């Protein structure tokens, strides 16, 4: 404990963002971010699974022998993902149809097993849930940013199909242009967008580090 | 690992497996009714456009007929036929079939055909065609599928049942001809099946036979 919540949130969203910095879970990240709403849906699903799996792993950590920990993590994660899939099918059927196989594939998102191994298996329940929340939010945020970026470039729209989450009639979102640059929606567009996001983050980090170094060089303690 | 540890590990695994299974079972029980209702609603919403302009009084999904593979319809999996009636006289049959020769995996299609052998509507139910190119066969993305409405085996004549690039009468899509070609072929094959088997398509309607009265 000891670390304030906002510090932790910043770690998950920025400093150690699972997608941007640790490059975990790239398969779903690249595959579903064709629209904002897909990114939002998979982001929420991953966030929920991550929080719940961290909670369960942390709660049972006393009884888990190190030799069998991985099968147990897999068991816990697979069950949670199955539950989430059923919940999506029941309450967000359109989103479930749109995300298709990528909901069950959350099982293979190594960001989740990584947090179980690195954090939840060594920390009490509360901090583990917080960790699941901040890391999941970081992942979800990146999914949404990439989704919005690719949707805007590739289809000329933004937030189309939000009815899949909110319910109600079909929403077309903000239509800025009719059609767009197809490459952005195709798989290469996913890699380009992720590369741009990582480059932008590194650039901002470097600029900030420089700004910090110049006035008071003595405060250069972290990293 | 000593023997004691193995036993202990086994028990831990078993207990956690039991808890996880219980969790999944509970979620399943809580969501089952909603999921069934959602799937029925989704199916009816997709079937309805293929019935526009027809009057019928039977439930759309009530009279379901499964044609086990292999069959003469497009696709290698089981085909499904929903029959629609007005005062017990057949009105139309809705075929759910798969076009196998799409650009990327099977295309699940709904083809509605009325008793006179004319297409009442075509809908693409599931596909994995390229976004922005082949996916314009979706009814929500363009009017492409509407060109089948009212068509039959004599309109156009058999050699007209192809896309324009192949000398037929149906539009292709800019930048995508594989997907439209697959769908045109599948629709034509469904019409041929209907023409050859019209009697048996509607005959199996009596409660006996192979009908599943909304079993699922």
Classify strands B89-99 and A174-175 as parallel, antiparallel or unpaired.
Answer: unpaired
Average per-residue pLDDT for chain A? 84
Closest CA to B167 of B158, B159, B177, B157: B159
Q: Which residues of B touch A (CB under 8 A)?
A: 1, 5, 8-9, 12-13, 16-17, 20-21, 23-24, 27-28, 30-31, 34-35, 38-39, 42, 130-133, 140
The rounded distance, in Å, linking the Cα atoms of A50 and A109 is 10
**Measured between CB atoms, does A179 come within 8 Å of chain B?**
yes
CA atoms within 13 Å, Cβ hemisphere of A40: 17
The rounded distance, in Å, linking the Cα atoms of B73 and B106 is 14
CB contact under 8 A, B131 and A63: no
Partners of residue A80 in chain B, C-beta under 8 Å:
23
3-state secondary structure A119-159: CHHHCCHHHHHHHHHHHHHHHHHHHHHHHHHHHHHHHCEEC
Angle, helices A36-59 vs A110-118, to 10°: value is 30
The rounded distance, in Å, linking the Cα atoms of B173 and B184 is 12
Highest averaged pLDDT of the listed ranges A28-37, A122-131, B153-162: A122-131
What residue ranges of chain B have pLDDT lower than 70? 1-4, 131-132, 204-216
**Rg of chain A on CA atoms, in Å:** 19
The rounded distance, in Å, linking the Cα atoms of B120 and B148 is 8
CB contact under 8 A, B16 and A154: no
**Measured between CB atoms, does A191 come within 8 Å of chain B?**
no
The rounded distance, in Å, linking the Cα atoms of A49 and A112 is 8
Is a pLDDT exceeding 80 seen at residue A50?
A: yes
**Helix (H) / strand (E) containing B108:** strand B107-114
pLDDT of residue A46: 92
Strand partners, B176: B173
Strand partners, B60: none
Residue ranges of the domains in chain B? 48-213
Residue A51 vs residue B138, higher pLDDT:
A51
Exposure of B24 by Cβ count < 10 A (0-12 exposed, 13-18 middle, 19+ buried)?
middle
The rounded distance, in Å, linking the Cα atoms of B194 and B111 is 11
The rounded distance, in Å, linking the Cα atoms of B86 and B104 is 39
> Which among B5, B27, B132 has the least Cβ separation from residue A154?
B132
Assign A64 a pLDDT band (cuts: 50, 70, 90).
confident
Assign A222 a pLDDT band (cuts: 50, 70, 90).
very low
Interface test with A, best of B9, B21, B39, B42 (most A CBs within 10 A): B9
Nearest CA distance, A186 vs chain B (angstrom): 8
Q: Among residues 2-41 of chain A, which lie with CB inside 8 Å of chain B? A: 34
Percent of chain A exceeding pLDDT 70 equals 89
The rounded distance, in Å, linking the Cα atoms of B50 and B42 is 14
CB contact under 8 A, A78 and B20: yes
pLDDT of residue A79: 95
**Measured between CB atoms, does A67 come within 8 Å of chain B?**
yes
Angle of CA points B54, B58, B60, to nearest 5°: 75
Residue A5 vs residue A178, higher pLDDT:
A5
Is a pLDDT exceeding 90 seen at residue A35?
A: no
DSSP secondary structure code for residue B170 in this structure: B
- Measured in Å, how far apart are chain A's first and last C-alpha atoms? 20
pLDDT of residue A54: 94
């Amino acid at each position: 404990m000891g670390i304030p919540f906002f510090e932790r949130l910043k770690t998950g969203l920025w400093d150690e963002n699972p997608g941007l910095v640790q490059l975990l879970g790239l398969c779903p990240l690249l595959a579903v971010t064709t629209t904002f709403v897909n990114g939002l849906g998979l982001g929420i699903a991953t966030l929920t699974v991550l929080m719940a799996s961290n909670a369960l792993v942390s709660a049972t950590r006393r009884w888990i022998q190190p030799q069998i920990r991985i099968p147990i993590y897999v068991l816990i994660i697979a069950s949670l993902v199955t539950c989430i899939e059923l919940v999506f099918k029941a309450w967000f059927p359109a989103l479930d149809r749109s995300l298709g196989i990528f909901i069950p594939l959350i099982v293979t998102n190594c960001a989740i097993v990584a947090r179980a191994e690195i954090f939840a298996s060594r920390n009490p329940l509360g901090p583990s849930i917080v960790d699941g929340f901040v890391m999941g939010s970081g992942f979800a945020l990146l999914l949404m940013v990439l989704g919005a970026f690719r949707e805007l470039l590739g289809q000329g729209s933004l937030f189309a199909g939000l009815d899949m989450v909110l319910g109600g009639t079909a929403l077309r979102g903000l239509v800025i242009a009719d059609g767009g640059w197809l490459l952005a929606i195709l798989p290469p567009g996913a890699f380009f967008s992720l590369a741009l996001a990582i480059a932008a983050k590194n650039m901002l980090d470097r600029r900030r580090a420089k700004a910090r170094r110049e006035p008071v060089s003595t405060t250069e303690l972290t990293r | 690992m000593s023997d004691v540890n193995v036993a202990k590990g086994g028990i831990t695994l078993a207990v956690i497996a039991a808890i996880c299974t219980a969790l999944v079972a509970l979620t399943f029980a809580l969501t089952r009714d909603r999921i069934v209702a959602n799937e029925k609603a989704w199916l009816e919403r997709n079937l309805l456009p293929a019935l526009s302009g027809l009057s019928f009084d039977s439930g759309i999904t009530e009279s379901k007929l499964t044609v086990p593979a292999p069959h003469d319809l497009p696709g290698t999996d089981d085909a499904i036929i929903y029959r629609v009636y007005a005062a017990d006289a057949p009105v139309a049959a809705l075929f759910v079939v798969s076009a196998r020769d799409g650009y990327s995996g099977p295309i699940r299609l709904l083809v509605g055909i009325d008793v006179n052998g004319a297409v009442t509507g075509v809908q693409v139910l599931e596909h994995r065609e390229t976004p922005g190119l082949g996916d314009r066969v979706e009814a929500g993305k363009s009017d492409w599928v509407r060109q089948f409405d009212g068509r039959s085996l004599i309109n156009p004549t058999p050699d007209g049942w192809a896309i324009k690039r192949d000398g037929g009468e149906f539009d292709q899509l800019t930048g995508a001809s594989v997907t439209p070609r697959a769908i045109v072929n599948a629709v034509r094959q469904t019409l041929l099946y209907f023409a050859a088997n019209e009697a048996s398509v509607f005959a199996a309607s009596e409660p006996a036979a192979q009908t599943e009265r909304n079993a699922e």
